[in-house]
Homo-oligomer: A and B are copies of this chain.
Amino acid sequence: MTWKRWLVGSPIETTRAHEQRLSIPLALSVFSSDALSSVAYATEEILLVLSTAGAAALAYSLPIAGLITLLLAVLIASYQQTVHAYPGGGGSYIVARENLGTIPGLVAAGALLIDYVLTVAVSAAAGVAAVTSAVPFLREHKVAMGLLFVGIIAVGNLRGVRESGRIFAVPTYLFIGSLTLLILVGLWCVLTGRPPVEPPAASISGASHALTLFLLMRAFSSGCAALTGIEAISNGVQAFKPPESRHAAVTLFIMGTILGSFFLGITWIAHVYAVVPGAGQTVISQLGRAVFGTGPMYFMMQAATAAILLVAANTAFADFPRLSSILANDRFLPRQLATLGDRLVFSNGIFILSGTAGLLIVIFGGDTHALIPLYAVGVFLAFTLSQAGMVMRHLRERDGRFRLHATVNAAGATATGAALVVIAVTKFTHGAWIVVVLIPILVVSFLRTHRHYFYVRSQLSLVEMEPERPIRHTAIVPISAVNRATIYALRYAKSIAHEVEAVHVGLDPHRAAKIQQQWKTWGGGVPLRILESPYRSLIRPLVDHIDDLMHGKRRNEMVTVVLPEFVTAHWWEGLFHNQSAFLIKGALLFRQGVVVTSVPFHFKR
């Protein structure tokens, strides 16, 4: 186990759980990297759609970015109310379930789980794209690089939440710093009318689509990727230092302001400098070269972009396991997901998240554009359900200024709901259908899991438990040879039951006769029964005999089959033995009232 310790650190005592809380600066780096990092690709996704309608269409990027920023403001205001109403962590699942009912809650939960997986996949892909924009020859290794980076973040998270916060604070602040610089220098250049240091690498070769309203809506849908991740804070209020809600609301506001300014600034400068996606470079990369030139500042910014995108995956690593554990505690997911590992993190959730995201990276060839259409549907579904739930809550609780609060949340719900419809319609054939199909499947799985646990609980219930009385119980010891191991098994059987019987399945008459002879010396008064086996099967006669004991004249309630089991010094020596014991166990597993016990016999080296 030493390699595990080296990788994830020593176990942490349960009582230290409270220390693992985050201050605002640390929380900003843990929870906002997802939201902030999306400016690295959101503008690009808008331009990618618009550019199909020719150069003139690009001007629409500004009003679209403005609209999305407005949506952002509404959402931030809306979520600030959520973190106050749910200091214990108010993810969309909890809010929707409590205020709208179980099914809407599970829909939100399914949407969020998919969203987290996609966050990891998209962020890794976009982060790799930032690297390959600067270092083109790495482009052919993008899938392997994506997987590597998912692996690194997974290990960081297995070490525990505070340590991963520390590891990841540096890139977040480096990114904030270099983008602030990019936008300030860029604005100054634009306003003073300077030409770009390096002209953009890509240009538009003409229109392939007409500039329709549908195309504009599709561009809007693509740009909505900028808003992914802002719900993370509301989901993780518990991880803040007390007072949790206030700290979370402040963090939300800071994050929203930074995100909005970055997104608008980048879109504006890209528009003025006529940057369009293409030529194997991201828009941000071309922007960096235009503003800074291909120098140290550019490489620094690309590195920071790559780093925060990879760290963005970390947001999902903080939230996916947390949400799964909530679902598991509510018995909508297997209980194993509710268990804290020895570093106080939900290790199973981390494994599932990194595995699924890695699979997506492989399937979609590590391509950001291919993954984005899957992304926004889940996010906006969760937004809408959460805000709608908040409206219901205000109308029910009717406290203080509930009309104002309800209006804010209703505005949020309406705006995100409208966006959701636009996204689902315009992106349906581009991959959104996968998510539309997947969410119902997840909801049904949640419900079936829940029903399973319900059945289990009802069958385990002690109501109408029959009163205790002695169990009628026979132990049988299958014997294939008389030796030390079988005699130990026999003695053990005599110690656990009053009625004991040895049986030998007679595959070979000489052997059976020899065993009967030896039994006179070693049987210790236990009767030996030879079972016939005309077809040389070991199992069949034994099973028939046990059925006879259970259902025949004697009607035992329980039969214990005591088998000697060889424990060898080397694992490979085990291959020489125990096959019969294994087969016997398999054959008797589904028989009511039959217990199979192995008495280990340890070989010395």
Taking beta carbons and an 8 Å cutoff, which residues of A are in contact with B?
11-15, 334-336, 339-342, 449, 452-453, 455-457, 459-462, 465, 468, 470-471, 473, 481-485, 487, 491-492, 495-497, 507, 522, 524, 534-537, 558, 560, 566-567, 573, 575-577, 579, 589-592, 594-604
Can you list 20 A-B contacts with CB-CB less than 8 angstroms, sorted by A residue number? A11-B536, A13-B534, A335-B576, A342-B535, A455-B603, A456-B566, A456-B576, A460-B484, A460-B601, A461-B483, A461-B484, A462-B482, A462-B483, A462-B484, A492-B558, A495-B496, A496-B496, A496-B560, A589-B600, A595-B599
Contact A495 B473 (CB under 8 A): yes
Contact B589 A567 (CB under 8 A): yes
Nearest-neighbor residue (CB-CB) of A599 within chain B: B595
- Bound complex: CA of A558 vs CA of B524, how far in Å? 20
Known: A462-B484, A462-B487. 17 other contacts (CB 8 A): A11-B536, A334-B575, A341-B536, A456-B576, A460-B481, A460-B484, A462-B483, A465-B487, A468-B491, A471-B495, A473-B495, A492-B595, A495-B497, A496-B497, A560-B597, A589-B600, A597-B597
B342, B594, B604: the one within 8 Å of A600 (CB):
B594
Contact A484 B496 (CB under 8 A): no
- Bound complex: CA of A12 vs CA of B537, how far in Å? 11
Nearest-neighbor residue (CB-CB) of A524 within chain B: B468
Which among A591, A594, A600 has the greatest number of chain B C-beta atoms within 10 A? A600
Contact B14 A536 (CB under 8 A): yes
- Bound complex: CA of A301 vs CA of B199, how far in Å? 77
Q: Which residues of B contact A484 (CB under 8 A)?
A: 459-462, 465
Q: Which residues of B contact A599 (CB under 8 A)?
A: 595
Contact B14 A576 (CB under 8 A): no
8 nearest interchain CB pairs?
A460-B483, A496-B496, A11-B535, A471-B495, A597-B597, A460-B484, A13-B534, A334-B576
B459, B522, B537, B594: the one within 8 Å of A342 (CB):
B537
Q: Which residues of B contact A470 (CB under 8 A)?
A: 495
Contact A535 B567 (CB under 8 A): no
If A334-B576, A575-B334 touch, does A592 touch B603 (CB 8 Å cutoff)? no
- Bound complex: CA of A468 vs CA of B341, how far in Å? 46
Q: How far is the CB of A479 from chain B (nearest CB, A)?
A: 13
Q: How far is the CB of A561 from chain B (nearest CB, A)?
A: 10
Nearest-neighbor residue (CB-CB) of A590 within chain B: B567
- Bound complex: CA of A599 vs CA of B560, how far in Å? 9
- Bound complex: CA of A598 vs CA of B487, how far in Å? 22
- Bound complex: CA of A474 vs CA of B174, how far in Å? 62
Q: Which residues of B contact A573 (CB under 8 A)?
A: 452
- Bound complex: CA of A495 vs CA of B496, how far in Å? 7
Q: How far is the CB of A453 from chain B (nearest CB, A)?
A: 7
Q: How far is the CB of A528 from chain B (nearest CB, A)?
A: 16
- Bound complex: CA of A553 vs CA of B348, how far in Å? 39
If A484-B462, A589-B567 touch, does A336 touch B579 (CB 8 Å cutoff)? yes
- Bound complex: CA of A465 vs CA of B522, how far in Å? 10
- Bound complex: CA of A484 vs CA of B455, how far in Å? 13
Q: How far is the CB of A210 from chain B (nearest CB, A)?
A: 51
Q: Which residues of B contact A340 (CB under 8 A)?
A: 536
Q: How far is the CB of A305 from chain B (nearest CB, A)?
A: 38
Q: How far is the CB of A513 from chain B (nearest CB, A)?
A: 15
Contact A492 B465 (CB under 8 A): no
Q: How far is the CB of A521 from chain B (nearest CB, A)?
A: 8
- Bound complex: CA of A602 vs CA of B535, how far in Å? 31
Q: How far is the CB of A374 from chain B (nearest CB, A)?
A: 27
Q: Which residues of B contact A14 (CB under 8 A)?
A: 507, 534-536
Q: Which residues of B contact A579 (CB under 8 A)?
A: 336
Contact A592 B602 (CB under 8 A): yes
- Bound complex: CA of A598 vs CA of B558, how far in Å? 13
Q: Which residues of B contact A497 (CB under 8 A)?
A: 495-496
Q: How far is the CB of A27 from chain B (nearest CB, A)?
A: 25
Q: Which residues of B contact A491 (CB under 8 A)?
A: 468, 471
- Bound complex: CA of A603 vs CA of B603, how far in Å? 38
B13, B461, B471, B598: the one within 8 Å of A492 (CB):
B471
Q: How far is the CB of A559 from chain B (nearest CB, A)?
A: 12
If A13-B535, A456-B566, A595-B599 touch, does A576 touch B449 (CB 8 Å cutoff)? yes
Q: Which residues of B contact A596 (CB under 8 A)?
A: 598
Nearest-neighbor residue (CB-CB) of A585 within chain B: B598
Q: Which residues of B contact A537 (CB under 8 A)?
A: 11, 342
Q: Which residues of B contact A473 (CB under 8 A)?
A: 495-496
If A11-B537, A452-B576, A495-B470 touch, does A459 touch B603 (CB 8 Å cutoff)? yes
Contact A536 B603 (CB under 8 A): no
Nearest-neighbor residue (CB-CB) of A562 within chain B: B595
Nearest-neighbor residue (CB-CB) of A460 within chain B: B483
Nearest-neighbor residue (CB-CB) of A341 within chain B: B536
- Bound complex: CA of A590 vs CA of B485, how far in Å? 15
Q: Which residues of B contact A456 (CB under 8 A)?
A: 566, 576-577, 603
Q: Which residues of B contact A591 (CB under 8 A)?
A: 600
- Bound complex: CA of A339 vs CA of B597, how far in Å? 25
- Bound complex: CA of A524 vs CA of B12, how far in Å? 37
